[in-house]
Structure 1
Amino acid sequence: MTLPDGVERRSFGEKEGLATRGEPVYGEPTDGAWRRWDPRRSKLGAMLENGMETGLSGGETVLYLGAAAGTTVGHVADFASPTYAVEFAARPARDLLSVAESRRNLFPLLKDARKPETYAHVVEPVDALIQDVATRGQAKVALANRRFLREDGRLLMAIKARSEDVTADPDAVFETVLGSLEDGYEILETGPLAPFHEDHLAVVARPR
């Protein structure tokens, strides 16, 4: 597994972990300019810790769906180029704005990821579409936002089984969502996000 440029594995006291260079966001341990990327608070961080081939090399243009308070997208902006961060809820979006203050390449958008037409006039074509949304219809969101992804780009998605259907067996949910994704994506790799996140499946895909 190749880490993107700008992401390193470093020691923070007795703990070793992935790290990016940037202003701290959520009280994470630091080592000089480096800050630890906590995989228990980040689906993308867990994907990298679990050795998935994300296709990220550093310097990508990114559209991040479900940015919340900026925990993960702050790390992404540390090693990426322009990073568009879509968040629907006003309260976490205020924290996201604070994260963006020290990252001139991070552009928060208070928008609904289910309605990409509301931000299509802002977002340029991207190399990576990163999705971490807690809603039903997660495949529909990924398909709707496929319009922004370059032909050789990557979808990096965390499927949240309990957000899709709290009563269904997670494996059945994953199978259904993956089947829907194949309408617009070629699935390259999947993997559970355990032990960091239960009932989550990570997906790496490219547009068809």
Structure 2
Amino acid sequence: MSDLPAGVERRAIDGEDGLATRGEPVYGEPTQDGWRRWDAHRSKLGAMLELGMDTGLVGGETVLYLGAAAGTTVSHVADFAGPTYAVEFAARPIRDLLDAAESRDRLFPLLKDARKPETYAHVVEPVDVIVQDVATRGQADVALANRQFLADDGRLLAAVKARSEDVTADPEDVFDAVVADLESEYEILERERLEPYHADHLGVVARPR
């Protein structure tokens, strides 16, 4: 396994070893001594770390998180990162996301559409990392549209959901097509399927060209 970022540790909680961060619980995850289990079965980024992908995360980064939903993963990110901008379009999960942000002064929820970065460009500063977990058709387009925020030496950490692009196509064909689109502006450093944690998902680590 590649090195974990500062602020993320492997800990035995409730008798089970796994990733953990320090912070208030968000989604009913088990806690111990201020540490909270980071459930990789509920977090694509957690799965990337569990699988040993070289995310480049060291801790303290400024992060733009696209597709924050109710805050399951982005709350863990805000536990170890620097300023963390959490973009979520659906109104339903925003309340949970706001609750997660109450105890995290580095987490900034934005009720915005990740496909329209011009609507939050006045708020988001240049970032070291873009984490993309947007389950929508055109996942490569989202990463390309938000490239403007990413530092030249930054990282894109994307979870590509095959079924969001095409429910009938072979997932590997979908992954190849998305990666090919990304390569117009990103250099792909690593790609790996996220099984057994997430079926038909591909983890991608890339940097701007």
* TM-score normalised according to structure 2 size: 0.99
> Any residues of structure 2 matched to 1:73-88 within 5 Å, and which?
73-88=74-89
Percent of aligned positions that are identical: 76
Determine whether 1:38 maps to 2:39. Answer: yes
Q: C-alpha offsets along residues 170-189 of structure 1, whole Å, 9 cap, x if unaligned?
A: 00000000000000000000
1-structure distance, mates of 2:100, 2:30: 16
Rounded Cα–Cα distance in structure 2 between residues aligned with 1:48 and 1:157: 12
CA-to-aligned-CA distance 1:135-165 (integer Å, 9 cap, x gap): 0000000000000000000000000000011
SS at 2:59 equivalent: coil
Query: 2:129 aligned with 1:128, yes or no?
Result: yes
Aligned to 2:112: 111
Which residue in the other structure is 1:98 paired with? 99
User: Partner of 2:165 in structure 1?
Assistant: 164
Mapping 1:178-193, distance limit 5 Å: 178-193=179-194
User: SS at 1:136's partner residue?
Assistant: coil
CA distance in 2, matches of 1:176, 1:35: 37
**Corresponding letter in the other structure for 1:14:** G
| SS across alignment from 1:104 | coil
Deviations 1:39-65 (A, max 9, x none): 000000000000000000000000000
Structure 2 alignment gaps of length 5 or more: none
Residue 152 of structure 1 corresponds to 153
What corresponds to 1:64 in structure 2?
65
Q: Which residue of 2 aligns with 1:8?
A: 9
Any idea what the Cα deviations from partners look like across 1:98-132, whole Å, max 9, x if unmatched? 00000011000000000000000000000000000
Q: Secondary structure at the match of 1:130?
A: strand
Q: Match for 2:25: what amino acid?
A: P
Q: TM-score if structure 1 supplies the norm length?
A: 0.99
How far apart in 1 are the matches of 2:51 and 2:32?
A: 23
Extract structure 1 runs of 4+ deviating beyond 6 A.
Answer: none
Q: Name the CA distance, whole Å, in 2 between partners of 1:150 and 1:56.
A: 14
Between the aligned partners of 2:171 and 2:94, the Cα distance in structure 1 is 29
- CA RMSD in angstroms comes to 0.4
Long gaps (5+) in structure 1: none
Q: Secondary structure at the match of 1:94?
A: helix
String of CA shifts for 1:14-60, please: whole Å, max 9, x gaps.
Answer: 20000000000011010111000000000000000000000000000
Shift of 1:13: 2.6
Name the counterpart of 1:198. 199
C-alpha distance in structure 1 between counterparts of 2:163 and 2:195, whole Å: 15
How far apart in 2 are the matches of 1:88 and 1:166? 22
Q: How many residues align?
A: 208
